[in-house]
């Protein structure tokens, strides 16, 4: 009985309760880009609100120290609020910050990296360098995955999933995807309607076409179209190929875009120029099917059949050429990837005689950048297909100073160290882990290998800060930090840091 009275009292003492309607000012953004406001010290997170907004909200969920609210009305807009280019930006789960000016986005992302390193990592001095921002934060993605489904009126639709759901927000003109995707996705939908090809129903596990996947070689102009199907065959493929090859893609090679206003490239070291990129004319070089008959939300299966051309396209990052299949991991923003990897190469400061270990190497993107100047590069990646691609890419670029290992980095590197009886050394170690960061066993082995430099590329500044703290407590020093905006309009930010061995 006493416990119930205490619970009732706690509810009565709460500043706000579910279904309350409140007006407040947004004073910050959460790590996922939600607006943060406070009511008498109680924190509320509000999706689609930005710093400086005064908003009217409906409280949706409350916890002891914080809650979540729905944006009802913008009473006074922030000076940094802009009108999204995309009419469905608020419903779609792909962009969280399209209503926030790009200048404000990059300031916030830079601060996000700084605060994670100072607060989580406990670094009193964070040697930040100016963020690498994008020339234009639109039409930059070289890969799209459009889910296919059925609309309320029975029509076949494609678009993107609404945030935290698998409900499709209908849209063929995504303003962060390459502009050729609109023509391609519309052509596939027309083909499906004309030949009565069914769309996949995720709940019932019925229907044929699950996703439309596209990849674009931004420098080569090569385009891939891959249909993911719930089966092993697609009828009328000759008609599909003819329709896609007949698309007029000329003039869609690149989009001119201004750099962030009131920012100079010279001042922030971005090196960007307000010019149209030099690329080849767009041409579809690969049309293929990917079979995925599993009842899963994993998009791709393992079997690929070619309808036209080959099962890969080629593109460059810097001077390095890569073959990219539907299953390959390849960074979605090649221009910013080049800037990020050039920064990593600069931080590594290779002189030509170094042995480098590249951990979580993927298809060898960073490995091959480093192989241009290192004596030897050893790459480690858990995905066998990625390592196969890495070896192909090394051969494609005539590198004979690379070696690649299949397996989890936290297992392979300690095993190799133990096999060497503790003699395995590295001059430089590069690390580009998934969002969860590094396993402690791996970091321990890296320290034992005694590299003079560790270059850590991160997609999550919180786990970066944790891992950097671990390394700096064991003989390393945080020397350089630079954020890179790879994903304009989203809350994601990449960063690269240099840690050097003390003494």
The answer to whether 483 touches 501, Cβ cutoff 8 Å, is no
The pLDDT tens digits for 33-53 are 999 999 999 999 999 999 999
Among the listed residues 378, 438, 459, 484, the single catalytic one is 459
* pLDDT for res 250: 79
* pLDDT for res 163: 83
Which residue spans within 151-298 are E strands per DSSP? 156-161, 168-170, 209-216, 222-229, 283-291
Stretch 291-307: mean pLDDT, rounded?
96
- Cα separation of 165 and 477, whole Å? 43
Decide which of 183 and 329 is more confident.
183
- Cα separation of 97 and 128, whole Å? 23
Mean predicted lDDT score pLDDT of the chain: 92
Would you say residue 272 has pLDDT above 50? no
Would you say residue 449 has pLDDT above 70? yes
CA dihedral 12, 14, 20, 22 (to 10 degrees): 140
- Cα separation of 334 and 307, whole Å? 27
Return the ∠ at Cα 185 (arms to 85 and 173), rounded to 5°: 5
- Cα separation of 495 and 459, whole Å? 7
* pLDDT for res 12: 41
Would you say residue 268 has pLDDT above 50? no
* pLDDT for res 46: 98
* pLDDT for res 164: 82
* pLDDT for res 74: 98
- The packing angle between helices 440-449 and 461-472, to 10°, is 50
* pLDDT for res 280: 76
Would you say residue 199 has pLDDT above 70? yes
Percent share of the chain, pLDDT over 70: 92
The tokens for 63 are: 């916890």
Phi, psi values for residue 194, rounded to 5° = -65, -35
* pLDDT for res 5: 47
* pLDDT for res 386: 92
Would you say residue 147 has pLDDT above 70? yes
* pLDDT for res 13: 58
* pLDDT for res 329: 86
* pLDDT for res 3: 52
- Cα separation of 302 and 334, whole Å? 25
CA nearest to 144, candidates 224, 230, 232: 224
Our answer to whether residue 459 is catalytic in this structure is yes
Stretch 2-23: mean pLDDT, rounded?
66
The tokens for 436 are: 């969860």
* pLDDT for res 254: 56
- Cα separation of 314 and 472, whole Å? 40
Would you say residue 83 has pLDDT above 60? yes
Would you say residue 277 has pLDDT above 60? no
Helices and strands, number each (H, E), in the chain:
11, 22
């Amino acid at each position: 009985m006493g416990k119930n009275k205490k619970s009732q009292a706690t509810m009565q003492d709460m500043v706000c309760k579910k279904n309350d309607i409140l007006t407040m000012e947004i004073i910050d953004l959460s790590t996922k880009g939600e607006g943060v406001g406070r009511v008498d010290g109680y924190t509320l997170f509000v999706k689609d609100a930005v710093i400086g907004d005064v908003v009217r909200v409906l409280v949706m969920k409350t916890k002891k120290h914080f809650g979540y609210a729905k944006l009802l009305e913008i009473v006074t807009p922030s000076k940094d609020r802009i009108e999204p280019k995309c009419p469905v930006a608020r419903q779609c789960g792909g962009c969280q910050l399209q209503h926030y000016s790009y200048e404000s986005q990059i300031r916030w992302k830079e601060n996000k990296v700084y605060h994670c390193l100072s607060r989580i990592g406990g670094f009193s001095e964070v040697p930040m360098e100016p963020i690498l921002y994008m020339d234009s934060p639109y039409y930059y993605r070289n890969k799209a995955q459009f889910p296919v489904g059925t609309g309320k009126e029975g029509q076949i639709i494609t678009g993107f999933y609404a945030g935290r759901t698998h409900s499709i927000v209908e849209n063929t003109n995504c303003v962060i995807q390459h502009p050729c995707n609109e023509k391609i996705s519309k052509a596939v939908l027309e083909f499906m309607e004309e030949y009565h090809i069914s769309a996949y129903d995720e709940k019932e596990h019925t229907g044929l076409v699950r996703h439309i996947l596209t990849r674009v070689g931004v420098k080569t102009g090569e385009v891939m179209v891959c249909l993911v199907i719930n089966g092993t065959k697609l009828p009328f493929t000759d008609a599909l190929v003819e329709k896609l090859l007949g698309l007029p893609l000329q003039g869609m090679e690149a989009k001119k875009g201004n750099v962030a206003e009131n920012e100079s490239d010279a001042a922030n070291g971005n090196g960007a120029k307000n010019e149209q990129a030099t690329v080849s004319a767009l041409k579809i070089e690969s049309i293929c099917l990917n079979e995925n008959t599993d009842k899963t939300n994993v998009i791709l299966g393992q079997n690929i059949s070619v309808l036209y051309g080959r099962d890969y396209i080629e593109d460059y990052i810097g001077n390095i050429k890569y073959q990219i299949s539907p299953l390959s991991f390849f960074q979605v923003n090649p221009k910013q990837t080049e800037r990020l990897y050039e920064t990593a190469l600069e931080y590594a400061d290779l002189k030509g005689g170094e042995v480098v270990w590249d951990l979580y190497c993927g298809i060898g993107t960073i490995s091959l950048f480093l192989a241009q100047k290192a004596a030897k590069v050893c790459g480690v990646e858990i995905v066998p297909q990625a390592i196969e691609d890495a070896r192909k890419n090394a051969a494609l670029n005539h590198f004979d100073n690379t070696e690649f290992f299949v397996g989890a980095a936290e297992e392979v590197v300690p095993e190799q160290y133990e096999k060497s009886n503790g003699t395995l050394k590295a001059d430089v170690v590069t690390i580009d882990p998934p969002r969860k960061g590094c396993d402690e066993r791996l970091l321990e082995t890296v320290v034992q290998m005694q590299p003079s430099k560790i270059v850590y590329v991160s997609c999550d500044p919180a786990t970066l800060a944790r891992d950097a703290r671990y390394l700096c407590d064991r003989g390393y020093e945080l020397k350089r930090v630079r954020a890179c905006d790879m994903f304009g309009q989203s809350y994601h930010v990449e960063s690269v840091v240099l840690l050097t061995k003390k003494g």
